[in-house]
């Protein structure tokens, strides 16, 4: 078990969803909490709540896609609390539509937040944690990167999101292996949730002005948004449940963290596609009516 009491958690996307729930758990475990988010108002409200739980809080507004801003977060964390023992690279956005209809702005935004946000977090905080481990043989640290089941599957009409999350799984697995070469005290984990009510379906509210769409959404993008709204809001597993799964996995030193283990059957099918080899299996094979509705909607 990791002695969380008195340690420091750094959490991006901390103003809502998994990040806010993880902040609550960290506070209840007696941790200092560094809360980072792009939404200043929501961040202020969330930080005030976590302070009310008795935690020492450092709130930090940032865009995780910006290298210099994540570096500033690292410096601020060290100045206030020292090296964190839990880093949750969690900030993320969603976007859908047929892959050839994704604009350059769509790619830059989603890859910037979902992929480069994780890359910057790993690059900035891992050396700080390794240095803390070297200085204290009893010190333990954990880095958790938020991917998605979309990082293990390739559902249609959400290609840019799939690509970003597959990359996060790859980064996380490589980080796990790289850390094992140099330390037994710092551990990596990857979170692969399925549909959970978090607000990610409302990501457009946080898209930077310079990356706004220059044209109206295409038919496929409108359909993707509607499907995302429905799937996310109807999720039965809560963000609080998932945050607890994260802490449970760190306590057990378990790398893969799933919110919906039954969804792994689709991952097994994909692996069989790869190994057979055979063409990718229809993702709607178990529910053909949904596939038929999507095809009809896209074809107009």
Ramachandran quadrant class, 259 (left: phi over 0; alpha: psi -120 to 50; beta: rest)? alpha
Instruction: Point out the residues of the chain with pLDDT beneath 70.
Output: 1-3
**Exposed e or buried b per residue across 22-45, where buried means at least 16 C-beta atoms within 10 angstroms of its C-beta:** bbbbbbebebbbbbbbbbeebbee
Cα-Cα end-to-end distance for the chain: 55
Strands 8-12 and 32-37: parallel
Kindly list the distances between the CA atom of residue 236 and the CA atoms of 203, 240, 249, in Å, as whole numbers in the listed order.
20, 11, 20
Active site residue 161: yes
Name the DSSP class of 282: P
φ and ψ at 237, to 5 degrees? -85, 130
Catalytic residue among 161, 176, 256, 258: 161
Please state, in angstroms and rounded to a whole number, the distance separating the CA atoms of residues 22 and 28. 10
Stated as kind and residue range, the H or E segment containing 32 is: strand 32-37
- pTM for this prediction: 0.96
At 99, list the tokens. 């892959």
Measure CA 270 to chain center: 22
Domains of the chain, CATH where assigned: 8-259 (3.40.50.720)
Residues 5 and 191: their CA atoms lie apart, in Å, by: 23
Give backbone dihedrals phi and psi of 128, rounded to 5 degrees, phi first: -65, -40
Provide the pLDDT for residue 206. 85
Q: For 218, which DSSP code? A: P
Q: Which two tokens stand for residue 270?
A: 């994909």
Q: Which pLDDT value is given to residue 1?
A: 41
């Amino acid at each position: 078990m990791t002695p969380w009491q008195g340690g420091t958690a750094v959490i991006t996307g901390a103003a809502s969803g998994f990040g806010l729930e993880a902040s609550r758990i960290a506070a209840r475990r007696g941790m200092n909490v560094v809360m980072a988010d792009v939404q200043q108002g929501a961040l202020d409200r969330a930080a005030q709540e976590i302070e009310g739980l008795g935690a020492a809080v450092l709130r930090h507004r940032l865009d995780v896609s910006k290298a210099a801003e994540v570096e500033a977060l690292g410096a601020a964390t060290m100045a206030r609390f020292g090296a964190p023992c839990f880093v949750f690279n969690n900030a993320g956005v969603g976007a859908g539509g047929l892959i050839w209809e994704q604009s350059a702005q769509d790619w830059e935004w989603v890859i910037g937040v979902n992929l480069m946000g994780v890359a910057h977090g790993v690059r900035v905080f891992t050396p700080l944690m390794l240095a803390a481990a070297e200085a204290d043989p009893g010190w333990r640290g954990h880095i958790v990167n938020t991917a998605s089941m979309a990082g293990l599957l390739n559902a249609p009409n959400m290609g840019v999101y799939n690509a970003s999350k597959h990359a996060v799984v790859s980064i996380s697995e490589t980080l796990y292996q790289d850390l094992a070469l140099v330390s037994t005290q710092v551990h990596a984990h990857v979170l692969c949730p399925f549909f959970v009510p978090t607000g990610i379906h409302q990501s457009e509210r946080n898209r930077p002005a310079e990356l706004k769409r220059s044209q109206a959404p295409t038919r496929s993008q409108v359909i993707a948004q509607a499907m995302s709204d429905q799937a996310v809001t109807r999720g039965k597993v809560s963000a609080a449940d998932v945050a607890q799964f994260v802490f449970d996995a760190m306590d057990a030193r378990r790398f893969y963290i799933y919110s919906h283990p039954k969804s792994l059957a689709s991952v097994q099918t994909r692996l069989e596609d790869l190994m057979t080899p055979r063409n990718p299996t229809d993702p709607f094979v178990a529910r053909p009516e949904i596939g038929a509705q999507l095809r009809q909607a896209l074809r107009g």
